[in-house]
Amino acid sequence: METAQARDGAERSVKQKVCIVGASGKLGRYMVRHALDRGYDVVGVCRPGSVGKLDAFNGRITVIPGATDDRDVIARAVAGCDGVLTVLVPRGVHHYSTGTAQAVLDHARPAARLVFSCGWHITRDGQDVYSWKLKAIVRAFGPLAKLARFADLDDQVEACRRVFASDTRWTVVRGSDLEEGDSQGLPLWSRHVGDPVLESNRTRRVDFALFMVDALTDDDLVHEAPAIVGRQTPSALAHAGRDGST
């Protein structure tokens, strides 16, 4: 939390405001919880038909219904926000991810911390080393999903390319395979998929959300694309700290 000097000289705390774009999904709702726990004012954006999924937070957050790639919706939602947490989903074939990312990049305050979610398949510098299994899934699922007009992985790739190229204070968090379950604490991360610490390829969704929210105040993650893994997974326990990961 930032502090400001009150007129009488005493320090007072200034409540920080964060926007969660895609708040009604599984990851989004975990992020809402973590953000409220940390005392943030929370604004959530979700599709109009999904507003009911946020009923548990009635009276504690502001909900702005709308498509997350609607520039007017995003402009209203991020106004005055110190941070924006964006769930990038490659759903549909109408550049939903790219439109969402671009709207956030264009409308968030220049000094705002921007944190985006995606999967390990996104690479920032081409130095990631992928297992045959992940390569096969992307190769098979990508075209099939596009053909069925269900999802477009290339859209998430383009969205992240635009984030990487922007001069905003961004972090792109790359999630491993996910599972439900109690928190194991803040995930470990590495710059490159293929590093031994990530080998277990498993993170609790609640901890993915924790990492996203924690990144808001971790300046070491500005302009990083951390690939994350659960703190209690075998590879994390075996390799933590040996290769520069946290």
Which residues form the interface with ligand NAP (CB under 6 A)? 22, 24-28, 46-47, 50, 53, 87-89, 91-92, 96, 117-119, 175, 177-178, 205
Burial of 68 (0-12, 13-18, 19+ CB in 10 A): buried
Least distance to ligand NAP, CB of residue 187, Å: 12
Structure tokens at 124: 């920032």
Per the listing, tokens 């009604």 go with 24
- Cβ closest to ligand NAP, residue 75 vs residue 178: 178
By beta carbon distance, the residue nearest ligand NAP is 25
In whole angstroms, the minimum distance from the beta carbon of 110 to ligand NAP comes to 24
Separation of alpha carbons 120 and 169, rounded Å: 21
Please state whether beta strands 203-204 and 3-5 pair in parallel, antiparallel, or not at all (unpaired): unpaired
DSSP 91: B
Give the residue with the Cβ less far from ligand NAP, 110 or 236: 236
Nearer to ligand NAP, 29 or 169 (CB): 29
The CA distance from 162 to 49, in Å, is 28
Write down the least CB distance from residue 15 to ligand NAP, Å: 25
Rounded-to-integer distance, Cα 143 and Cα 130, Å: 19
The minimum distance between CB 235 and ligand NAP, in angstroms, equals 16
By C-beta, is 47 or 191 nearer to ligand NAP? 47
